[in-house]
Each structure stands twice: as C-alpha cells, then as structure tokens.
C-alpha cells in the first residue's frame, strides 16, 4: 500500500492543492482504502443524531457513498458536531425512491441486504459482504419498507437477547458494516485500491481544493 501511496502522490505532482503535504498523503491513504462497492442506504432515517452517527461509521469503515431517502422537512439531517467532520469524506446522495435506486444497484450487480427484525430474516453473519453490496437500514419507527424488503436479496437480523426489540439504527449500521469490514479485511480488500487514479484526482480536487476554498469563505 505504501508504494501505491507514493505512486499516487507522484502522479499528483503539478496539481494545485490547498492542504499541507501530510494532509494530502492522509487523504490519498483514505481514498486507496475506500470500498466503492460497499454502499449504505438509509431509508428515511429522520433523527439527526442517528444519521450523523451513521455517516461517521461509514467513513470509518471505508464507505464512500451513502444514499438516502428522507421524508422530513429539515434542510440537512446531519450535525457537524456529531459527524466530527466525517460528512466531508463521504458522498451523500438524497434520492426520491428507494426502490428505483436499489433496482439500479441490482442491475449493476450489487446485492441488496436489508436489515429487518421480521421472521424470514437470516443471521447477519450468514451473508457474504465481500460481494458488491448495498446495506439498507430503516426508519426509527417503521423500519425498512415492505417494498425494499421484497426486492432485497437478503433480509438480515442482528440477534437480540434482551428485553428491547431492536437496536438504535446507528448501532445496527455499525454492527453490519463492521462485519463487512471483518470479511473484507480478511480477504485483503482494504489493500486492493478500488478507485482509479482519475477518480482519486477528481475527489481530491474537491476535498483538497474546492471544499477548502468554500470553508475559507464561511
């Protein structure tokens, strides 16, 4: 991985960035470990604490893209103090229809894994998360919708042995994503960069140039 970092840094020579060299190196290291084929879909999670904690976990596990539907009326459903800045390193895509978005992922070869507490769900560790995967988590009260559960390749449950029927949605997200991380790191997927040099350059132009300018203007 160290060689790959050096290679990318050499390929970036001549580009203008507005961050210190150490910061640029860190961003390159992060991008080389991003799991482009592990996506999180949040179906109408409404609480900003929950959504923010989900984003923070996605960044930690190497998820680059989070898709979400949101039926509330807030402009922004995350809080910078809770994401601890990690919303900057994960791309958030708000979509109108969960079903249509997930169908498109399936057409591209992704499996859809819906987290659900109902009877036909299988234990979450039975799924192979090293395949291109979209993990779906649901609304705090209603859970994942029937339509999404129907189109999912797997419905999974995290066993509950106490009195509470369910986990907080951000905790459930972390449990599933860290199972994905366990399986993927065992297969060496974090040592095999998924983003092309062109994609890395495009993202760095945003993170280490455009966003810095925007931050300075704030």
Ligand X SMILES: C[S@@+](CC[C@H](N)C(=O)[O-])C[C@H]1O[C@@H](n2cnc3c(N)ncnc32)[C@H](O)[C@@H]1O
d(CA 46, CA 85): 19
Contact 62, 35 (CB under 8 A): yes
Binding interface with ligand X (CB under 6 A):
115, 117, 137-138, 140, 143-144, 157-158, 160, 166-167, 169, 172
Q: How far is the CB of 136 from ligand X (least distance, A)?
A: 7
Please, which residue, 86 or 115, has the CB nearer to ligand X?
Answer: 115
Q: Please report, for residues 31, 59, 77, 102, 119, the alpha-carbon distance to residue 132 in angstroms, rounded to integers and kept in the order given.
A: 17, 17, 27, 13, 25
Q: H or E stretch including 10?
A: helix 2-11
In the bound complex, which residue of the shown chain has the CB atom lying closest to ligand X? 143
Structure token digits, residue 167: 């986990």
Phi-psi region of 32 (alpha: psi -120 to 50; beta: other; left: phi over 0): alpha
Which residues fall within 8 angstroms of residue 165, CB to CB, at 6 or more apart? 117
Please, which residue, 60 or 167, has the CB nearer to ligand X?
Answer: 167
Please, which residue, 62 or 138, has the CB nearer to ligand X?
Answer: 138
Q: How far is the CB of 159 from ligand X (least distance, A)?
A: 7
Which residues fall within 8 angstroms of residue 133, CB to CB, at 6 or more apart? 37, 38, 39, 110, 111, 112, 113, 127, 180
List b or e across 92-127, with b for residues whose CB sees 16 or more CB atoms inside 10 angstroms: beeeeebeebbeebeeeebbbbbbbbeeebeebeeb
Q: How far is the CB of 135 from ligand X (least distance, A)?
A: 9
Q: How far is the CB of 70 from ligand X (least distance, A)?
A: 14
Q: How far is the CB of 185 from ligand X (least distance, A)?
A: 22
Please, which residue, 119 or 188, has the CB nearer to ligand X?
Answer: 119
What SS3 class is residue 46? coil
Please, which residue, 151 or 158, has the CB nearer to ligand X?
Answer: 158
Please, which residue, 53 or 64, has the CB nearer to ligand X?
Answer: 53
Q: How far is the CB of 191 from ligand X (least distance, A)?
A: 30
């Amino acid at each position: 991985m160290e060689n790959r970092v050096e290679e990318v840094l050499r390929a970036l020579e001549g580009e203008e960035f507005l961050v210190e060299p150490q910061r640029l190196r860190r961003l390159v290291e992060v991008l080389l470990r991003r799991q482009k084929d592990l996506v999180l879909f949040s179906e109408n999670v409404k609480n900003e604490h929950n959504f923010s904690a989900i984003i923070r976990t996605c960044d930690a596990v190497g998820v680059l893209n989070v898709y979400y539907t949101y039926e509330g009326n807030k402009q922004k459903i995350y809080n910078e103090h809770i994401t601890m800045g990690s919303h900057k390193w994960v791309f958030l895509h708000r979509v109108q229809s969960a079903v249509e978005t997930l169908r498109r992922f399936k057409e591209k070869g992704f499996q859809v894994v819906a987290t659900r507490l109902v009877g036909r769900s299988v234990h979450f560790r039975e799924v192979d998360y090293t395949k291109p995967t979209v993990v779906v988590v649901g609304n705090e009260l209603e859970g994942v919708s029937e339509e999404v559960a129907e189109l999912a390749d797997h419905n999974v449950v995290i066993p509950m042995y106490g009195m509470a029927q369910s986990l907080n949605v951000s905790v459930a997200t972390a449990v599933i994503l860290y199972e994905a991380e366990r399986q993927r790191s065992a297969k060496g997927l974090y040592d095999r960069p998924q983003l092309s040099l062109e994609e890395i350059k495009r993202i760095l132009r945003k993170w280490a140039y455009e966003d810095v300018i925007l931050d300075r203007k704030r």
